[in-house]
Amino acid sequence: MSIAILGAEFRHTVRLARSYWLEYISDLLLYTLGFLLLITVFKAASASYGPQGYLSTLIGYTTWKICASILVDIARIATDEAHTGTLEQLFLTNLRPGSVFLTRSLGILVNHGVRGLVLAFILAAILGILQPVTLSAVIIFALTIAGACGLGFALAGLALVYKRIGGGLQLLWQMLVFFTGALAPIQNTYLDALSKLLPLTWGIAGLRAIMIERASMATLWQNGILIGLLINTAFYIALGIVLFTWGQRRARELGVLAHY
């Protein structure tokens, strides 16, 4: 994979984004209104909910929005390309299909990452909760995104073979918002155990510890958050590689690459 291909993929993403401008504006509005509604509800529910609560919610909400969007968009690369009729063309370049999907994923990552983070900083500035971004926070955020990408690739592999995965993606989207502690801490023991298996949970916990409690990486290692995140991310990346490799071979065996 070269810089030129990455550049081409990024220009491709921006050009398509320009073509679907209304969808992008709606998404930004929904993101902003969703966050404002959340903090209004939380403030009405608890008198002690203040700037620290805003920051906690913003960290969870932004991490969920960016990572879940990246995950879903990567999972939908295959189905979207099949719909536009260009999926087979992506398999006809002299790059390996995995490389083409990877560059497309990086385009998606930059697209959602920039949009989500810029808006999060604007909201943080307006609410007076702007924090310095440390290297530790960047590392934890990157590991969280990597895990989400891994799951995205796994689902993309399934989508190459089974095509319609929209229902599953909807379910996953809801699970990621409600069962990862993105909005509020999870009290139930069973749900807490479930949340530890999902890709965003450890990352959100780590980011809150670093940005709110000023925890160091050593602290995160000691309290198990870092090791949990590393194992979780490694698992989803491995799952992504295995299922995507299987999916693209199986789709070619069945001759269903172009189907949708």
Shortest Cβ 82–another protein spacing (Å): 10
Site string for another protein, 86-115 (x = CB under 8 A): x-xxxxxxxxx---x---------------
Cβ atoms within 10 A of the Cβ of 22, count? 8
Does 210 bind another protein (CB under 8 A)? Our answer is no
- Judged by CB, which is closer to another protein: 86, or 174? 86
Contact assessment for residue 145 and residue 58, using Cβ atoms and an 8 Å cutoff: no
Residues making up the chain, counted from first to last: 260
Shortest Cβ 114–another protein spacing (Å): 20
- For another protein, the binding residues in 230-249 under the rule CB under 8 A are 249
- For another protein, the binding residues in 59-88 under the rule CB under 8 A are 84-86, 88
Does 255 bind another protein (CB under 8 A)? Our answer is yes
* Helix 77-84 × helix 97-127 angle, to 10°: 110
Q: Please work out, in degrees rounded to the nearest 5, the angle formed at the alpha carbon of residue 204 by the alpha carbons of 200 and 210.
A: 150
Contact assessment for residue 225 and residue 209, using Cβ atoms and an 8 Å cutoff: yes
Does 20 bind another protein (CB under 8 A)? Our answer is yes
As given in the structure block, the two tokens for residue 148 are: 């989400």
Cβ atoms within 10 A of the Cβ of 168, count? 14
Instruction: List, as one string, the DSSP characters of 121-133.
Output: HHHHHHHT---PP
- Judged by CB, which is closer to another protein: 6, or 237? 6
- Judged by CB, which is closer to another protein: 15, or 190? 15
Give the total of residues touching another protein (CB under 8 A). Answer: 32
Shortest Cβ 1–another protein spacing (Å): 11
DSSP state of 181: S
Single-letter amino acid, residue 179: F
Measured distance CA(159)–CA(166) in Å, rounded: 9
Does 163 bind another protein (CB under 8 A)? Our answer is no
- Judged by CB, which is closer to another protein: 27, or 80? 80
Residue with tokens 């160091």: 216
Measured distance CA(18)–CA(25) in Å, rounded: 11
Binding span for another protein by CB under 8 A among 44-52, 70-78, 215-223, 250-258: 250-258
Shortest Cβ 11–another protein spacing (Å): 7
Question: Which residues in this chain contact another protein in the complex, by CB under 8 A?
Answer: 2, 4-5, 7-9, 11-12, 15-16, 19-20, 84-86, 88-96, 100, 249, 252-255, 257-258
